[in-house]
């Protein structure tokens, strides 16, 4: 099967073959779930391209047939199919972009993979473009700054507000439904359960969001790194054009570009900043974002619970509503300050919206409680 190949070469080619078949299968799944006909066709073309790459490695291994059978039931493909069915292919794109970046890195120094290298780069560019077209990823650049500046304060306050409003409304709804029994245990149980579930949900969502956004930029940086290694002269010319676009004379731009290319790390840092608008030092931590989101939501959700824990009877529900309303007013004011709006208008708006929502859920709970209990 692999006559004439060393054991290390054969194993490496087999891994390339496995990777290409897996990629072709993944693109096939995306094509099936993509509702946009144009994007679906792009995924189909990418799948066919990966099949050709798989055939290339099958031929290098000396296989008598280069027919490629796509995979369907590996754990990774089952996971991708599940995510696509729930959220659509757009959630998978950052991950696929990272996979393509790894293949580029592998083929850069692979003699037998040079004819595939340019196609893999095109695949990576296509995926990056599609990922960045996703509205969920349009604000990627701003995300990094929210973890370093005042934006992080605003994000924390909004997390507290989410926990406060959702748990305030939930507990008022349960209180309305159990008002005839006077049993506050259900209210406390509902509040604590909502705090735990909501905090974990927010943390999970924040981790996935920031991780996906970070993957896109790490993928772009990987591409730049590979291009700097493979085509240093072309990349130096690109740096010259970048500095000329800033109004620097051509001769001086060439001197700057040459000095940067002498240090690969500086060159990569500059290309990331100028082409991607990204400071590599500002990449946010998914774990930090997740923990911050969890703590912020939990803090907000805890506010309606505290008065009920330290009081009894209907007065505890009233105190919970008062504490929560006061917290809504304060949070609304802080959000207004962070947004540059009138503090009292923002505070009053938040208070009105939150209390109306809580009143509505209390009424719904009361009506359901009468009919059920």
Identify the pLDDT of residue 245.
64
Instruction: Report the mean per-residue pLDDT for the chain.
Output: 79
Identify the pLDDT of residue 294.
92
**Better pLDDT: 187 or 222:** 187
Q: Which CATH architecture has domain 7-137?
A: Up-down Bundle (1.20)
Kindly indicate the confidence band of residue 127, based on its pLDDT and cuts at 50, 70 and 90: confident
Domain with CATH 1.20.1260 in the chain: 7-137
Identify the pLDDT of residue 149.
40
* 151 pLDDT above the threshold of 70: no
Q: What is the pLDDT of residues 37-91, one digit of tens each?
A: 888 888 898 889 889 888 888 888 888 666 778 887 888 888 888 888 887 887 7
Distances (CA, A) of 15 to 29, 107, 110, 199: 21, 12, 13, 41
Report whether 372 contacts 181 (CB < 8 A).
no
**What's the CA gap between 121 and 126, in Å, rounded?**
9
Average pLDDT rounded to a whole number, residues 263-278 = 75
Whole-model pTM? Answer: 0.54
């Amino acid at each position: 099967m692999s006559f004439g190949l060393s054991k290390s070469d054969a194993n490496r080619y087999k891994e390339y073959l496995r990777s290409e078949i897996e990629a072709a299968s993944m693109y096939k799944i995306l094509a099936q779930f993509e509702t946009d006909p144009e994007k679906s066709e792009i995924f189909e073309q990418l799948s066919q391209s990966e099949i050709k790459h798989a055939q290339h490695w099958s031929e290098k291994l000396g296989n008598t047939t280069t027919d490629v059978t796509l995979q369907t039931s590996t754990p990774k493909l089952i996971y991708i199919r599940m995510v696509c069915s729930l959220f659509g292919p757009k959630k998978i794109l950052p991950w696929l972009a990272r996979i393509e970046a790894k293949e580029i890195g592998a083929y850069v120094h692979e003699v037998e993979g040079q004819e595939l290298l340019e196609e893999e780069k095109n695949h990576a560019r296509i995926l990056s473009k599609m990922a960045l077209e996703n509205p969920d990823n349009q604000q990627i650049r701003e995300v990094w700054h929210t973890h370093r500046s005042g934006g992080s304060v605003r994000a924390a306050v909004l997390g507290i507000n989410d926990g406060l409003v959702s748990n305030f409304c939930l507990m008022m709804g349960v209180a309305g439904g159990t008002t005839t029994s006077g049993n506050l245990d259900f209210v406390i149980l509902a509040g604590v359960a909502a705090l735990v579930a909501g905090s974990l949900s927010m943390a999970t969502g924040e981790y996935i969001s920031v991780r996906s956004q970070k993957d896109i930029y790490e993928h772009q940086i990987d591409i730049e790194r590979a291009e700097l290694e493979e085509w240093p002269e072309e990349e130096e010319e690109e740096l010259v054009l970048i500095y000329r676009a800033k109004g620097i004379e051509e001769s001086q731009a060439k001197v700057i570009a040459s000095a940067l290319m002498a240090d690969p790390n500086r060159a990569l840092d500059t290309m990331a900043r100028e082409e991607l608008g990204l400071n590599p030092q500002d990449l946010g931590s998914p774990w930090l974002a997740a923990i911050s989101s969890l703590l912020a939501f939990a803090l907000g959700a805890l506010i309606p619970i505290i008065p009920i824990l330290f009081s009894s009877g209907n007065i505890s529900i009233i105190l919970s509503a008062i504490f929560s309303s006061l917290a809504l007013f304060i949070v609304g004011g802080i959000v207004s300050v962070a947004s540059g709006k009138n503090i009292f208008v923002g505070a009053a708006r938040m208070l009105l919206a939150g209390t109306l929502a809580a009143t509505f859920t209390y009424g719904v709970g009361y009506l359901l409680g009468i009919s059920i209990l």
